Chains A and B, each alone.
Chain A
Amino acid sequence: MNIIVCVKQVIDPEAPPASFKIDAAKNRAEMHGVPPVIDPYGEYAVEAGLRVKEAGGGKITVISLGVNLLREVVKKPLAMGADELILLDDEAYAGGDSWSNAYSLAMAIKKAGAFDMILCGREASDTNAGQTGPAISEILGLPCITLARKIEVKDSQLRIERVNSSGYDVIESPLPAVVTVSNEIGQPRYPTVKGIMAAKKIEPVIWKPTDIGIEAAGTGANTQRTKLRKLFQPVYEGKCDFAAGDSPEEMAVDLAVKLRQAKVL
């Protein structure tokens, strides 16, 4: 089983909202003073891949697209147990939209050789779009199953439990297929010391657009179908009315009385 996992580097989505800043001139965001991380849902996708590999054997190739990717960040999937890392790391990839990025990833997947399964997170923590997986499936003409909470492979058929708001759907699909992974799959494992040592020895393969058969002008900002007009932070001007009291119990009583007086409850 050859498994591809697409995962990217992002600003840390779990950092306190107070450290979130927008650089208005560049229309870009950062978490002030907090280092970037591997995208959380991508990590769930890596975890899903590792479980499939454990159940039936195989190889996991991770592909990350970005500009100036930090090795210590993008190598985390290797430390978790993935086998190979391909980086689409070049200025030419900068500024792409969901389509541009998925197209480059799809071309890299084709070049990487035979594959059975392509895993992506259900949505990235920066764009919150959830389009990379579906887009890759359309570009490569593959079946697509989104929001997986369980993946089983039997007789080269996929059986997937797909999360929905009232339970789950059971879906069957032939391979190869694209699957996007939800957090219900289970917590991603922590890298082990052995894993971290092994990851150190693996040199990522770096592909520029021309390596995957794309002209430099055929990716990144040049190929956007969607343009960002503006990026801004919503403001909340609400004011919190704190309950008063010398003990938690007194404050609790004060809150109950306040809510009653304000006719909230």
Chain B
Amino acid sequence: MSDYEGVAVYCETKEDKILPIAAEGLGIGRKLADTLGQKLSAVIVGGNISGLAQQIISCGADKVYIVDDLQLKDYQADVYISVLEKVIKQVKPQIIIMGQTDYGRELAPRLAFRLGTAATMDCVDLAIDAESKRLLQTKPVYGGNAQAVFITETDPQVVTIRTKAMEALTPDTSRKGESVTIPADLDASVIKTKTLERVVEEVAGIKIEDAQVVVAGGRGIGSADGFKQLDELAKLLKGAVGASRPPCDNGWIPDMAQVGLTGKIIAPEIYIAVAISGSSQHMSGCSGSKTIIAINRDKEANIFRQARFGVIGDWKKVLPAFTQKLKELMAS
């Protein structure tokens, strides 16, 4: 159909490591490449990153394309897109997999449209259609109320994948692969926007994306003070505090605590949802949790459809008693 062949994964890096989502991309990429009987390549862009090639090969890649230039040390949208455009035009993969990350969200569609093709964002499943050999791209739509399966008819077929939706391979350090260096040849005329500064808004304690236990509050918590009670339970369980969107919008808790489709997608062992109704958009961010526990005064609340344990009642009465009892049980 076209002269595009093989699967390519764009491996985003941070602080001298590839992101976990890049390893997840390599995991599913390996599967797809094997099904197609084609090669899996990886692309990395950055400054001082050539040393990551072996790690990427051990995660499943046959070939790593490296664009290593100190001027690429920090992400700049216009520069990264033009570098990727150049690499993709040279490599000509049939499928490009990226992560649905802060930057993947803008890189993927811009790259796809620049290449005259299309992107499907936030895929939770990828497979090869037995008949057409095209990529079947499953992604949540309507905030997670439904899922859609798409096929892209143009090449390359660009997708982003959702965090933790695909499995990474166990790294095999004996795997062999090839690395190819591509010069950046930066052209200053492509730069329109410029990132001047990256501001990190520090949150004390464990980050929700790393926590094994997350205690999350919703609109029903009602105030910043209410969140202090959630904090107490989170501390007891060595967890972190999260939230649905309204508490963030209301400034009861920093924006970074938002769980959901447009917030963080997390999969802790335990997710305790307090006064959260369980909208599809919110559940998109936490339905991968191993055990969901819900406290809500509305027995019809959607959260109970996905919760394993529940209490129907006013959190103001339930939570203190629950925290107290747990303390006792955990001490004995």
Contact = CB atoms under 8 A, between A and B. Distances in A.
A256 B272 CA distance: 12
Given A17-B280, A187-B249, A249-B321, A134 B312 contact: no
Interface stretch (A73-81, A107-115, A160-168, A207-215): A160-168
Interface in B106-132: 106, 109-110, 113-114, 117-122
Q: Give chain A's interface residue range (CB within 8 Å of chain B).
A: 35 or more
B302 interface: yes
Interface stretch (A85-93, A195-203, A224-232): A224-232
A144 interface: yes
Interface residues of B, number: 82
Contact of A240 (B110, B150, B308, B317): B308
Contacts of A128: 121-122, 139-143, 261
Nearest to B236: A265
B102 A165 contact: yes
B237 A248 contact: no
B113 A138 contact: yes
Question: Which of A102, A166, A238, A240 has the largest number of chain B CB atoms within 10 A?
Answer: A240
Nearest to A166: B200
A139 B293 CA distance: 47
B325 interface: yes
Interface in A3-27: 11, 13-14, 16-18, 20, 22
A256 B325 contact: yes
Nearest to B316: A248
A130 B109 contact: yes
A169 B192 contact: no
Nearest to A41: B262
B152 interface: yes
A17 B301 CA distance: 10
B148 A238 contact: no
A43 interface: no
A186 B248 CA distance: 10
Contact of A131 (B109, B150, B264): B109
A134 B143 CA distance: 20
Interface of chain A, helix or strand or loop or mixed?
mixed
Given A97-B118, A243-B310, A257-B325, A183 B249 contact: yes
Contact of A163 (B136, B142, B146, B255): B255
B38 interface: no
A126 B118 contact: no
A242 B150 contact: no
Interface string B189-230: 000111111111100000001000000000000000000000
Contacts of A104: none
Given A143-B193, A172-B193, A264-B270, A255 B146 contact: no
Contacts of A99: 113, 118
A144 B110 contact: yes
Interface string A108-145: 00000000000000110111111100110111001111
20 contacts: A29-B146, A125-B143, A128-B122, A131-B121, A138-B109, A144-B193, A146-B106, A147-B106, A167-B198, A167-B201, A177-B192, A225-B117, A234-B147, A238-B305, A240-B294, A248-B314, A251-B312, A255-B293, A256-B329, A257-B329
Given A14-B279, A265-B270, A265-B330, 7 more contacts: A16-B302, A17-B278, A170-B195, A183-B245, A233-B146, A255-B322, A264-B291
